[in-house]
Structure 1
């Protein structure tokens, strides 16, 4: 029987391996593979096939609405009239909102665009007898494995 589990690279992984060796699993039956994590930065703009859930137009649309109302109100007193000044205000508001969102995403939230949550850093593969399966699985879970799978 084989067990596949993922761990963060920390002391719990080392303790789990030593516990497995103490319980009779041979060193040759334990195989640990470190994973290479993503090194390039996350993209700001989404592609057709992947979206991160943030929208660039939300602040722009809200500001376009507010600025168009203000522009139309002031436009009654200006030469071009309320319609033109409402459209000009909407355009300025949308561009301003888009600029604000781009600034917050690229400068302020740059560090938050890394992958969130815990990352698997090591895959641990263990060959064992079926009689040792429950023991091995309990040891893996007790030492904070991120995931465990077994194959007969």
Structure 2
């Protein structure tokens, strides 16, 4: 049986490995693989082949609707009339909404991503007998593994 787990690069990983070695798991049965984290910044704009599910025009569409209604209503009293002022209001709302969404994505969420710096940095693979699997899984969870999976070998 193989047990896979992911850890951050901390002393808890080293303590988990030493605990497993003290309990009789051979050094040759433990394999740790460090991962390379993404070095390039995330893109804000989607491409044809990649989408992150975040829409930049959702707030813009709502504000365009609201501003066009207000512009058309006020436009009855203004010189250019309700159609032009409705279009001006829609354009203004769309631009304002896109600016708000870009600010949220580039400034607010970037700070949140920098604070949450939890990455799976190391994959730990352990070959063991099926009778040892439950103990090893408990040791890994006790030492703050980010994820654990068991694979039965055929």
TM-score over 0.5 (shorter chain): yes
| 8 Å CA contact 1:6, 1:148 repeated in 2 | no
Aligned counterparts of 2:62 and 2:98: Cα–Cα separation in 1: 10
Aligned counterparts of 2:77 and 2:133: Cα–Cα separation in 1: 82
> Which deviations, in whole Å up to 9, do the C-alpha atoms of 1:67-106 show, x marking residues without a partner?
2222222222223211222122211221222222223322
User: For residues 118 and 149 of structure 1, do their structure 2 counterparts lie closer, same or farther at Cα, with a shift above 3 Å needed?
Assistant: farther
> Which deviations, in whole Å up to 9, do the C-alpha atoms of 1:90-131 show, x marking residues without a partner?
1122122222222332233323356x6843211112223444
User: For residues 37 and 25 of structure 1, do their structure 2 counterparts lie closer, same or farther at Cα, with a shift above 3 Å needed?
Assistant: same
Q: CA deviation at 1:17?
A: 0.7
Q: CA deviation at 1:50?
A: 4.4
The SS at the match of 1:47 is coil
Aligned pairs, number: 152
Query: Where in structure 2 are there 5+ consecutive unaligned residues?
Result: none
User: For residues 139 and 110 of structure 1, do their structure 2 counterparts lie closer, same or farther at Cα, with a shift above 3 Å needed?
Assistant: closer
| 8 Å CA contact 1:64, 1:94 repeated in 2 | yes
The SS at the match of 2:140 is helix
Mean Cα displacement is larger for which, 30-39 or 49-58? 49-58
Q: What is the TM-score of this pair, normalised by structure 1?
A: 0.81
Query: Where in structure 1 are there 5+ consecutive unaligned residues?
Result: none
| 8 Å CA contact 1:42, 1:113 repeated in 2 | no
Q: CA deviation at 1:48?
A: 4.2
User: For residues 84 and 130 of structure 1, do their structure 2 counterparts lie closer, same or farther at Cα, with a shift above 3 Å needed?
Assistant: closer
Q: What is the TM-score of this pair, normalised by structure 2?
A: 0.80
| 8 Å CA contact 2:3, 2:126 repeated in 1 | yes
CA RMSD of aligned residues (A): 2.6
Aligned counterparts of 1:100 and 1:56: Cα–Cα separation in 2: 9
User: For residues 33 and 73 of structure 1, do their structure 2 counterparts lie closer, same or farther at Cα, with a shift above 3 Å needed?
Assistant: same
The SS at the match of 2:42 is coil
The SS at the match of 1:124 is strand
User: For residues 107 and 4 of structure 1, do their structure 2 counterparts lie closer, same or farther at Cα, with a shift above 3 Å needed?
Assistant: closer
